[in-house]
Amino acid sequence: MCGIVGYWGKKESVPILIKGLKRLEYRGYDSAGIAVIKRNNLNYLKKTGKVRELEKEINREKLTGQIGIAHTRWATHGIPNDINAHPHMDVSESMALIHNGIIENYSTLREVLLKEGVKFKSDTDTEVVVQLISSIYKKNGLSLEESVRAALQQVIGAYGVVLVSKDEPDTLIAARFGSPLVVGIGEGEYFVASDAAPIIDYTRNVMYLDEGEMAIITNGELTIKNIFENKIISKEISKVDWSVEQIEKGNYPHYMLKEINEQERTVVDTMRGRLRVEDGDAHLGGIRDFMPRIESARRYYITACGTSWHAGMIGKYLLEEYAGIPVHVEYASEFRYRETIVGPDTVVIAISQSGETADTLAAIRKAKEKGALTLGICNVVGSSISRDTDCGVYTHAGPEIGVASTKAFTAQVTVLSMLALMLGRRKDRLSKSQGQEITRSMNKLGDYIKEVLTDDKQLQKVAKDTQNVNHYLYLGRGLNFPVALEGALKLKEISYIHAEGYPAAEMKHGPIALIDENMPVVFIAPHDKTYEKILSNIEQVKSRKGITIVITDKHSKDLDALADYLIVIPSTHAHIFPILVSIPLQLLAYHLAVLRGCNVDQPRNLAKSVTVE
C-alpha cells in the first residue's frame, strides 16, 4: 500500500530514488512522484501510471538533486491522477511530504486549515499533513522537527511519512505510526523506505522504526526520537540478510513465475534446522519458551487475511487433528471488531507474509488486550507483526515481490505442519512412527516440487483451452478444501476470471446450477480417504457437461475416463499434499493470466502489502 523512499547524502539522489521506487512498485502502482532539494530549491514531479512514466518525465525535465523523497501510490482518498500523486506540497511549495497510510481526521484538520486560508490542491487525506506542518512552521517560529512533531500530535490515523523542506535543506524527517518505515545507515548517507528492498544495494545496516518514532537526519547525523514525548531513543542496528538476486527477476518474465519456481528451495529453507526426521518431530526455536502455554491452551484462533487466511484454514485441520485443540479461523478484519472468546487460555496465531497487514496487526493488539498469547507466522524479518507478537516463527521464504502470494503460502503451510506435528508428538496424539512418516514426506517435498515444476505442459494446455471462459470452479475435500479456495483466489486476482472454491460436496447445494459446457471445474483428488467421494462429485460435473480438470497423485481407470484434463503429481503423505498441489494451481493461474494479457505481478487495484483498513 504505497511505497516510500527517501535519500539523505552527497550522491545524486534521483537515480537512487527511482531505483528504489521500482523495487517498491509492488506496494502500489497507480501513480508516482519525487521531490528533491538542490541548492536550497525544492523541485518535484508527479505522474499518473507506473514509475517508468515518472522516469520519462524526470529525463525530459532533467531533474537532479541531493536530498530527496519519492513515492509510488495505491489510491485511498482521491482518484489516481497527477495532482493526487505524492509528494504533496504546502501552499508555498517549500515543503514536500510523502505518506503511506490513512489520516482518519483529515476532514476536521482540513476545515481548520481552510479557515486559515489554506488552499488545497488535491483530494487526498495526505495533503492536510503537509499543510498543517507548514502552517505550524510559519506561525509559531518552530524548527522543522518541532513543527512535524506538533502537527503529528494532532493527526489521527496511520502513517509512515517522510518530509523535506527548502527552508531547512539539510534535513530529512521520517515518522511512523501504523505504517512501516526502515532507515538504512550507509557511509555518510541514509535511506528511508517502506521496506529494505531499496536499501540493500547500498547498505545492510538498518533500523526499523517502531510505532510513534521519528527519524531526524540532519548534518550527517541520525537521531531517533519519540513523536509524542520528544525523547531520544537509542535503537539497535539490524542486518538485512536479503540478497539483491532475491529481489530481482533474473531471467524470469515475471516475479510470480520466479517465486513459483523458487518453491523447491524455499520450502526446504522453511524446514531447515527445524525438522527432526529420525525423531519424527520438529523444533521451532522462536516458540520454544512458550511451549507450556501453547500446549495447555484451551483454544486457538488463527487470524489472517487473503492467502494467509487460507494457510490458516489448512492449519486448523492439522492442529485440530494432531493437537486436539479447537481452532477458530477468523479473518483479521472480523476478529478485530467481533466479540471473540479470547482470553489468557487462548493462543492467537497471526499469519502474514508481509507482517504489515493493518487488520492482522489490529487483531493481534486486540488479542493481547484480552490476555491471549500471540504467535506470529511471518515472512518479513523485523516486520511489525513479527515484533508485536509474543513469539513466532519466520517462514524464511525470501522476499516475495509478485502481488499474488505463492512461495509465502507454501512456507506458511509448512510452518503450520511443523507446529501441528510438534504438538501432536508432545500430546502423544502422534506416535514416533507416525511422526516419522510425516517428517520423511516433508523431507522429500523439495524433490516433489521440482518434479511438479519440471513439466507443466498439461497445465499450459488447460490454460490455452480455457482462456476465454468467464468462470472457474475449484473443488476439494478436507485439507484440500482450503487449497481450492486458494486456487480460486490466485486465478481471480491475476487473470480476472471469476472463480470460486468450495468443499466438493457442497457443490450440489448450489454451485451445481452453474455447471454447463463452459464451466471448467478443477478437482483436487488425491487417493486418500476422500477419493471415492470426490469421484462422485467429478461424475456429477461430467454428466452436466462441465469441463473436468483433475489434479491427482496417480492414474486410475476412473479418473482416466472422467477427467478431460488429468494432472498427476507425486504421491505424498495426505497432510503434506496441500503444499504440493498448490503449485499446479499457481501455475494454472499464471498461464491463464499471461494468455489473457494481464499484468501478472501488478494486478489491477491490488497492492502487495495492505497497510490500510
Chain positions contacting ligand AGP, by CB under 6 A = 305-308, 352-354, 357, 360, 403-405, 493, 606, 609-610
Burial class (CB in 10 A: 0-12, 13-18, 19+), 378: buried
Residues 6 or more apart whose CB falls under 8 angstroms from that of 101 comprise 1, 2, 157, 158, 159, 160, 161, 177, 178, 179, 611, 612
The total number of residues shown for the chain amounts to 613
Question: Which of residues 147 and 406 has its CB atom nearest to ligand AGP in the complex?
Answer: 406
* Sheet containing 205-208: order of strands: 41-48, 31-38, 67-73, 3-8, 190-193, 182-185, 205-208, 238-239
Nearest approach in angstroms of CB 593 to ligand AGP is 12
Residue 371 falls in which region: left (phi positive, over 0), alpha (psi -120 to 50) or beta: left
Task: Give the cell for residue 569.
Answer: 503429481
Coil, strand or helix: which one is 72? strand
Distance of closest approach, residue 603 Cβ to ligand AGP, in angstroms: 8
Cβ 545 to ligand AGP, closest distance in Å? Answer: 31
Q: What is d(CA 303, CA 363) in angstroms, rounded to the nearest whole number?
A: 7
Q: Is 608 a catalytic residue?
A: yes
> Which residue in 38, 46, 225, 608 is the catalytic one?
608
Using CB positions, name the residue nearest to ligand AGP.
306
Please give the full DSSP string across 358-374, using - where no structure is assigned: HHHHHHHHHHHHTT-EE
Closest CB 165 distance from ligand AGP, rounded Å: 34
CB 591 within 8 A of CB 257: no
Min CB(404)–ligand AGP separation in Å: 4
Nearer to ligand AGP, 26 or 202 (CB): 26
Nearest residue (CB) to ligand AGP, 30 versus 127: 30
Given the complex with ligand AGP, which of 37 and 393 has the nearer CB atom? 393
| C-alpha separations of 216 from 30, 173, 220 in Å | 29, 5, 10
Q: How far is the CB of 583 from ligand AGP (least distance, A)?
A: 14
Q: Which residues contact 510 (CB under 8 A, 6 or more apart)?
A: none
Nearer to ligand AGP, 512 or 606 (CB): 606
By C-beta, is 228 or 337 nearer to ligand AGP? 337
Q: How far apart are CA 571 and CA 83, in angstroms?
A: 56
The helix-helix angle for 407-426 and 432-443 (nearest 10°) equals: 160
The least CB distance from residue 33 to ligand AGP, in Å, is: 25
Shortest Å, Cβ 31 to ligand AGP: 20
Of the residues 2, 305, 391, 598, only one is catalytic, namely 2
CB 548 within 8 A of CB 565: yes
Complete DSSP assignment for 255-307:
HHHHHHHHHHHHHHHHHTTTEETTTTEE--GGGGGGHHHHHH-SEEEEEE-HH
Distance, in Å, from the CA atom of 377 to the CA atom of 411, rounded to the nearest integer, reads 10
Does 2 participate in catalysis according to the annotation? yes
In 395-546, at which residue ranges do the beta strands (DSSP E only) sit?
471-476, 498-503, 520-524
CA–CA distance, 164 with 24 (Å, rounded to integer): 20
Which of 583, 585, 526 lies closest to 555 in space, CA to CA? 526
Q: Enumerate the active-site residues.
A: 2, 608
